[in-house]
Chain A
Amino acid sequence: MKNKYMFGGIIIVVFLGLMIYLFTQTNVQYENDFAKVMKSGKTVKATGTWLRDRSYELDKTNKIFSFYIKDINGNVMKVIYHGAMPNNFESSTSIVVTGKYSNGVFQATDILTKCPSKYQEQTVQKAGS
């Protein structure tokens, strides 16, 4: 019995220990309050919606894509992303940007756009009611 628990135990203990350590190192929190995002300066996944009326900018020469994003409380921040405009960006209902806030802008390393397939129904329901 001892050998079994020793070998199995070592693997489990070592890797779960490593896992907890790495988890605290690499975990990223979801945040839908931009006031906190701007204050903390930590890497977060900020969720919000794209401010349509302020459009977006594509800087071709430097390959920078930037736009404005709004959280549930109405806080707005500018997002800068080095790369191409993601698929579905213009039809997205909500956006998750990963990165951190520094020097007055949110430097995104990743953008995830959400476009529920029920999008049409939702807008209509708003209009109909």
Chain B
Amino acid sequence: MIGNIFLVIALVAGIFTVLMYFLTYRGYQNTLNYARISFHTTAVMVMAASALLLHAILTHEYQYKYVYNYSNSELPTGLLISTFYAGQEGSFMLWALFSVIVGLILLDYTSKRGDLEPRVMMIYTLSITFLLIMVNPLLKSPFNYIWAEPDFVDIKNINPTYLTIPALQNFIFTDTQSNKQFIQVSKELYNILHANNIPFDKFIIEGKGLNPLLQNFWMQVHPPMLFIGFAMSAVPFAFALAALLKNDYKEWIKQALPWVLAGMMILGLAIMLGGYWAYGVLGWGGYWGWDPVENSSLVPWLIGVASIHTMLVQKKSQERDGTSRFVKTNLILCIMTYILVLYSTFLTRSGILGDASVHSFVDPGMTVYLFLLIFLFSFLILGVGMIFYRWKYLTEHFTYEENILSRELALFTGSVALIASAIIILVGTSAPIFGQTVDISFYNELNLPIAIIIGLLNGLSILLKWKYTDKSQLLKSLQLPIIASIILTAIIFILSGVQNIMLIILTFSSSFTFFVNGEIALSILKGRKSFIGAYIAHIGIALFLVGVVATGGYSKHQQVDLVKGEKVNLFGYELKFTGYKPIEGGKKYAFNVEIRKGNDVKVASPIMYIAEFNNSLMREPDILEGFSKDFYIAPISYDETGTENSNSVKLKKGETFNFKNKEITFTNFVLPEDMSAMMSGKSFKIGVNLQVNFNGKTIYIEPYMENTSDGPRFYPAELKEADLKVFINNMNASEGIVELTFASISNTESIQSEPKEILTIEASIKPFISLIWIGVAVTVIGFLISTFRRLKESMN
């Protein structure tokens, strides 16, 4: 209850902050202090509400629906904390929490830089109020009590001592399908418990728990990072709108630049952490699957990165000759970055992608859906409306011509390439809204040439000078990197075997980026080191792209059956399944696979287990990581043949089953002529008459069951010309059902022999996937250095 009060106060204070900042912006003298106090109130209230929610989770207060739905007492502390944002309400809370923290820093930052504060903070606080409306008790607050709306709670989560209370019997339901019992919690139940002096947190003693897919280390890192990125992406939006409000477009660029850099660094890192999660734990096989959820956060990142480059042009041109180039581009890109974050939220949270994504999100209900739309459109209209309003002024004052051989034009063209990539991904990802969907190849084929263009433009833009470049000078500076790139590309492809022309060009293009940036980075090391950021970031991108080429073009994968104790040769390695053992107290099973190359033996232990949470088989891959390649083992299934026949079919009378081009119809049971044997319990036979159609022929065969004093024995039937053997597994003569196993005679040993333990895995070799992670780390370092450099400059 207190949590909801905090959230409501936060929301009201937020609205008041926006109002006070607006009045300050309009020239009122004494409203600034109110605005600041009020913003701090919002911040403190959001923090207090978050602390309260965390406390409720840590102390297992299951009277809160949110706590009940996503956590339980078995989770270790780290994961328990992460259930804070396992559901929709909590993740919006987390977003709001990071937003107020970013807001406090932003307030301090803007208050030291001219008259920025009222305009920027007004817009930024507006974005916070929208988030606070999302978690408001009327929409979806994490503090809503479980009895507020009728809900069913599994009886195993209820304190058994209270179940005998007669008044409760009316609330117990049995699900006929699963035979589970549930208690319907509602206001009436709450009143009854209250009347009996039973506190609700003693009544429900266990929660539903966290989805096992989310139970790993990355759950504790990836989502918070993503929400910090989201929270920070509203800052450039606020700066752009502040500039439009004042109709002054000079100052905001240098003031916003460190924020854009830091925001995109964090968002980019968050996206790739998600990629590593998918690769290393979820067993998707790759670092990127073009899944709608991944895509929808990549799109704003691409736009944000494009904006960094054109903002740099404006900043440089202002410093050099007072002209402001790409003013409109910068405004639009900064606004669109945040709009696309909101659009991404809408796509992934509204349930609209229901069928298209691996991340299944539950339909959040109509009100949330509508509010998300309102949220999105409010900011879209605000942003686009302001640009529209100032368009004439902008066009009259900021129209310039760029020289062909200028860094300005190269950077602009590079940004356009990034934008094109963003549009392509956006269209592909949005297609499910219209009942369409695109193949993965759509993204790969279109983004490959864009990556090539970006790599080439990147190297070129650095060799080009601002404003104008002398042709002969450019050609001279191009020589060394081009020659080096050709040599490197040639070496790579001679070693690996040439296959795909586009991948060769991409390798050349990323080598070009690598050498151009590397050369400059080396020379900077002797000079002003704070200038090295961009070059390091670009080297990281180049390494990343080489990793993309290597894993994309040269990965090998194959599904193999590993019989326990038997060696299998694969990709030049020798694989042997040595058995499984229970881990984590018997909750999971690790399947040990010995991987031998020469004298080097390593053991990979992919994991499989049945999760109680959703009653399904969970699989976790294991990876032998190396610099030049990863050996990736994803478990698929484990079987003990002989104890269970995987190939079995249940047939009713008259039904047909198709086995290797043979049509087998179960016609009828052949009962013993002398029924008395059956009645008196003596031994008797029942045949299963099967009609086999193959090669245009029809032949009948009859496997049978003999019922002896030892119980039933089944006898198979063979049909040599059809290479068919049929086993009976079970039959039910009264219902007319028989369960059969079909096999080829030439291949029946495995069914009759001793039980075998077979582990089926998907093994793959991912060459140089390490370059992807190294590239990301290097890029992040580059971003970090640049952020500090631009932060210093923003004070001037």
Do the two shown chains form a genuine complex with each other?
yes
User: A residues touching B (Cβ–Cβ < 8 Å)?
Assistant: 1-4, 7-8, 11-12, 15-16, 18-19, 22-23, 26-30, 45, 47, 55, 57-61, 63, 83-85, 87-91, 94, 96, 112, 114-121, 123-125, 127-128
How far apart are the CA atoms of A14 and B402 in the complex, in Å?
Answer: 22
How far apart are the CA atoms of A54 and B233 in the complex, in Å?
Answer: 51
Q: List 23 A-B contacts (CB under 8 A).
A: A12-B419, A12-B420, A16-B420, A19-B423, A22-B442, A22-B446, A23-B438, A47-B355, A60-B646, A60-B647, A91-B616, A112-B358, A115-B360, A115-B614, A116-B360, A116-B362, A117-B211, A118-B362, A121-B152, A127-B175, A127-B177, A128-B152, A128-B184
CB-CB under 8 A from A8, the residues of chain B are 412-413, 416
CB-CB under 8 A from A1, the residues of chain B are 399-401
Instruction: Answer whether residue B617 sits at the interface, using C-beta atoms and an 8 A cutoff.
Output: yes
Known: A15-B450, A120-B152. 15 other contacts (CB 8 A): A1-B401, A3-B402, A15-B423, A18-B446, A22-B441, A22-B445, A23-B442, A29-B437, A30-B432, A57-B647, A57-B648, A59-B646, A117-B362, A120-B180, A127-B175
The residue that A11 contacts in the complex, of B154, B358, B417, B615, with Cβ under 8 A, is: B417
Instruction: Answer whether residue B75 sits at the interface, using C-beta atoms and an 8 A cutoff.
Output: no
Are B427 and A84 in contact, with the CB atoms below 8 A? no
Known: A12-B420, A58-B647, A115-B614. A28 touches B436 (CB 8 A): yes
Are B154 and A120 in contact, with the CB atoms below 8 A? yes
Are B416 and A7 in contact, with the CB atoms below 8 A? yes
How far apart are the CA atoms of A119 and B178 in the complex, in Å?
Answer: 12
How far apart are the CA atoms of A117 and B360 in the complex, in Å?
Answer: 9
* In the complex, chain B residues 374-418 whose Cβ is within 8 Å of any chain A Cβ: 399-404, 409, 412-413, 416-417
Instruction: Answer whether residue B575 sits at the interface, using C-beta atoms and an 8 A cutoff.
Output: no
| Min distance, Cβ B448 to any Cβ of chain A, angstroms | 11
Instruction: Answer whether residue B559 sits at the interface, using C-beta atoms and an 8 A cutoff.
Output: yes
How far apart are the CA atoms of A102 and B255 in the complex, in Å?
Answer: 61
The residue that B420 contacts in the complex, of A11, A22, A30, A116, with Cβ under 8 A, is: A11
CB-CB under 8 A from A22, the residues of chain B are 438, 441-442, 445-446
| Min distance, Cβ B33 to any Cβ of chain A, angstroms | 46
Are B151 and A59 in contact, with the CB atoms below 8 A? no
Are A87 and B617 in contact, with the CB atoms below 8 A? yes
Instruction: Answer whether residue B44 sits at the interface, using C-beta atoms and an 8 A cutoff.
Output: no
Instruction: Answer whether residue B354 sits at the interface, using C-beta atoms and an 8 A cutoff.
Output: yes
* In the complex, chain B residues 426-460 whose Cβ is within 8 Å of any chain A Cβ: 427-428, 431-432, 435-439, 441-442, 445-446, 449-450, 453
The residue that B647 contacts in the complex, of A7, A11, A59, A96, with Cβ under 8 A, is: A59
Are A115 and B616 in contact, with the CB atoms below 8 A? yes
Are B420 and A3 in contact, with the CB atoms below 8 A? no
Are B424 and A19 in contact, with the CB atoms below 8 A? yes
Instruction: Answer whether residue B650 sits at the interface, using C-beta atoms and an 8 A cutoff.
Output: yes
Are B178 and A12 in contact, with the CB atoms below 8 A? no
How far apart are the CA atoms of A55 and B701 in the complex, in Å?
Answer: 25
Are B401 and A3 in contact, with the CB atoms below 8 A? yes
- Nearest to B412 among chain A residues (CB) is A4
How far apart are the CA atoms of A22 and B449 in the complex, in Å?
Answer: 14
CB-CB under 8 A from B354, the residues of chain A are 114
Q: Which 6 pairs across A and B sit closest by C-beta, in order of nearness?
A: A26-B439, A8-B416, A88-B616, A84-B636, A15-B420, A7-B413
Are A30 and B355 in contact, with the CB atoms below 8 A? yes
CB-CB under 8 A from B360, the residues of chain A are 114-116
- Nearest to A4 among chain B residues (CB) is B402
CB-CB under 8 A from A83, the residues of chain B are 559
Instruction: Answer whether residue B618 sits at the interface, using C-beta atoms and an 8 A cutoff.
Output: yes
Are A124 and B182 in contact, with the CB atoms below 8 A? yes
CB-CB under 8 A from B649, the residues of chain A are 57
CB-CB under 8 A from A63, the residues of chain B are 559
CB-CB under 8 A from B413, the residues of chain A are 7-8, 11
- Nearest to A26 among chain B residues (CB) is B439
CB-CB under 8 A from B630, the residues of chain A are none
Instruction: Answer whether residue B218 sits at the interface, using C-beta atoms and an 8 A cutoff.
Output: no
Instruction: Answer whether residue B59 sits at the interface, using C-beta atoms and an 8 A cutoff.
Output: no
Instruction: Answer whether residue B747 sits at the interface, using C-beta atoms and an 8 A cutoff.
Output: yes
Are A16 and B423 in contact, with the CB atoms below 8 A? yes
Instruction: Answer whether residue B619 sits at the interface, using C-beta atoms and an 8 A cutoff.
Output: yes
Are B402 and A28 in contact, with the CB atoms below 8 A? no
- Nearest to B418 among chain A residues (CB) is A11
Known: A3-B402, A60-B646. A12 touches B416 (CB 8 A): yes
How far apart are the CA atoms of A118 and B424 in the complex, in Å?
Answer: 34
Instruction: Answer whether residue B569 sits at the interface, using C-beta atoms and an 8 A cutoff.
Output: no
How far apart are the CA atoms of A39 and B79 in the complex, in Å?
Answer: 49
Instruction: Answer whether residue B668 sits at the interface, using C-beta atoms and an 8 A cutoff.
Output: no
| Min distance, Cβ B671 to any Cβ of chain A, angstroms | 26
CB-CB under 8 A from A27, the residues of chain B are 431, 436-439, 442
Encoded as 1 (CB less than 8 Å from any A CB) or 0, chain B from 624 to 638 comes to 000000000000110
The residue that A124 contacts in the complex, of B173, B403, B436, B616, with Cβ under 8 A, is: B173
- Nearest to B647 among chain A residues (CB) is A59
The residue that B173 contacts in the complex, of A60, A96, A114, A127, with Cβ under 8 A, is: A127
- Nearest to A27 among chain B residues (CB) is B436
Instruction: Answer whether residue B176 sits at the interface, using C-beta atoms and an 8 A cutoff.
Output: yes
CB-CB under 8 A from B174, the residues of chain A are 127
Are B747 and A61 in contact, with the CB atoms below 8 A? yes
Are A30 and B435 in contact, with the CB atoms below 8 A? yes
- Nearest to B649 among chain A residues (CB) is A57
Instruction: Answer whether residue B760 sits at the interface, using C-beta atoms and an 8 A cutoff.
Output: yes
- Nearest to B619 among chain A residues (CB) is A87
| Min distance, Cβ B176 to any Cβ of chain A, angstroms | 5
- Nearest to B401 among chain A residues (CB) is A1
| Min distance, Cβ B699 to any Cβ of chain A, angstroms | 23
CB-CB under 8 A from A123, the residues of chain B are 175, 177-178
CB-CB under 8 A from A59, the residues of chain B are 646-647
Are A45 and B355 in contact, with the CB atoms below 8 A? yes
| Min distance, Cβ A53 to any Cβ of chain B, angstroms | 10
- Nearest to A117 among chain B residues (CB) is B362
| Min distance, Cβ A128 to any Cβ of chain B, angstroms | 5
Known: A60-B639, A91-B616. A11 touches B453 (CB 8 A): yes
Known: A7-B416, A11-B420, A123-B177. A28 touches B637 (CB 8 A): no
